[in-house]
Amino acid sequence: MAQIAKWRCAIRLCQILTKGQVQCVPVIDGERLYYKQFRDAPFRQVSLRGRSAPTRPFRPFTQHTRFDRHFCGTYLAAEMRLRAAEGAILSTHYQPIDNTGAPGEVVKVDVKFTFRGEILCLEYDTKDVTLHEPFTVRYDSEQENVVHKTLQHRIPLIKAVVRHVDHDEASTGYTIPLDWMEFVGTEVRVMVSFFEHESSSRRSVTNLYWQGSATMKEFELSWKLRLLERCCTGDMIALWKMMGEINLVVPAQGPLTITTRDGELVLEGGNQDEVAD
């Protein structure tokens, strides 16, 4: 009975993940990882430019930012990706008020999927993980003092909770065991790219702290999907089996509906032009 309950829950989770409306709130820390190290401190302040201010990370999105869902890959290498929708509300200017430094790591991502009266809350965090070389740097040969930086690493899933939409966030809901998240696994891969504008003081011998700014150009979350009958709905399995390799974009305005008609798949809510035969 316990195994049957797990399978039923996994199928329901697949429906919420692939059809629900998305909210995503990432937290991007600097190279010195002030927020990651001191987030639980009751009082933390640093001196910058002659004044004291609390350590604050970079949060590019709000709860109102809309995201498109991208399905891509083959049946054995299927992926689901999240990207900010065109014209979505977001902040791209990174210039910390403390000495945490240039963009260094995505330390936390909270993702919520809402579908038919239920909310699935996924909490990803690198709090207990030490990442080695989470970013790559490339200097621009055409523009002086401009650096292309890409943060690309995995973030482990530490908590999954399902609650009803009528309940506030303080309510407990019910916690999903992490091994039940078989469809998307227990980690997410994040990719963020920046144009970093270096100031002359960054490489100054007398100034040890980063004094520049950066502009976020791209943000993407990606999950590797397991298309197994015990954790995935039949329409998603049929989509990959019948189409082979796909690159399907589902806009933020509505969910993807997959039905069969006369032996053929009918896609509603997705950009059918993006489907590759």
Instruction: Convert the pLDDT of each residue in 204-228 to its tens digit.
Output: 444 566 778 899 999 999 999 999 9
Give the range among 142-146, 155-159, 244-248 with minimum mean pLDDT.
142-146
What confidence score (pLDDT) does residue 201 get?
44
| 213 three-class SS | strand
With vertex at residue 184, the alpha carbon angle to CA 60 and CA 109, rounded to the nearest 5 degrees, is 20
Residue (of 24, 26, 17) closest to 151 by Cα position = 26
pTM of the predicted structure, to 2 decimals: 0.86
The burial class, CB within 10 Å (0-12 / 13-18 / 19+), for 117 is exposed
Copy the structure tokens of residue 3: 């195994």
Amino acid at position 53, single letter: A
pLDDT at 111 over 70: yes
Mean pLDDT across the stretch 47-63?
75
Note the pLDDT of residue 89: 82
The whole domain housing 198 covers 2-274
Q: Domains in the chain: how many in total?
A: 1
Q: Are 159 and 175 in contact (CB under 8 A)?
A: yes
Q: Is the pLDDT of residue 266 over 70?
A: no
Q: How far is CA 254 from CA 67, 69, 83, 231, in A?
A: 11, 10, 15, 23
Contact 188, 155 (CB under 8 A): yes
Residue 75 has pLDDT above 80, yes or no: yes
